[in-house]
Amino acid sequence: MSASSSSSSGCTAGQLNVDNPICFYGLKAPQRTSLTFDNPGRRFYGYINYKRNGCDFFRWRDPEICERGKEYIIELLEQIGRLKKKVIALENEVSTTAEDNYILSKKLTDVENSRKALREEMDRLIAKMALIQMKLKEKDNKYESPPMCLYWSNSL
């Protein structure tokens, strides 16, 4: 297929110059990609502010894109934009979930520590209660009168 013939889709093929051309100031012009609706994804050589200040050098690297190609590229760019938004939303959700997991993990640790402290306090109170019961039993035994038969046998 020659440089001037068109493909079955209606797009024209052209000879591409892969070396960066030299601008009016003798510098290699940087390659950029057009993001306009008229030339979506079409590469060119030129400076970012070439119309405002600086070098006015401009040259297309790629041949013009057919209308269907432009529509398709625009659709793909819009789909990419939607997917990027979804990725950002999912990243935020993962971040939020990670933060929630950290907070819940900290709360669980606090609850476990509180449970352990309450268990230790309960064990201490049970031991204290057992000691009090033992002392009360000793007091009760101290005031009990000895069995009658022993008392009488000792006095005989």
Structure token digits, residue 88: 């950002």
- Looking at residue 81, its pLDDT comes to 92
Task: List the chain domain ranges.
Answer: 22-65, 69-144
| Host H or E run for residue 32 | strand 31-33
Each residue's pLDDT tens digit, 66-97: 999 888 888 998 999 999 999 999 998 888 88
| Stated pTM of the model | 0.43
For 95-147, what is each residue's pLDDT tens digit? 888 888 888 889 999 999 999 999 999 999 999 998 889 888 887 777 665 55
Q: Which of 4, 2, 1 is nearest to 64 (CA)?
A: 4
Say what the pLDDT of residue 50 is: 63
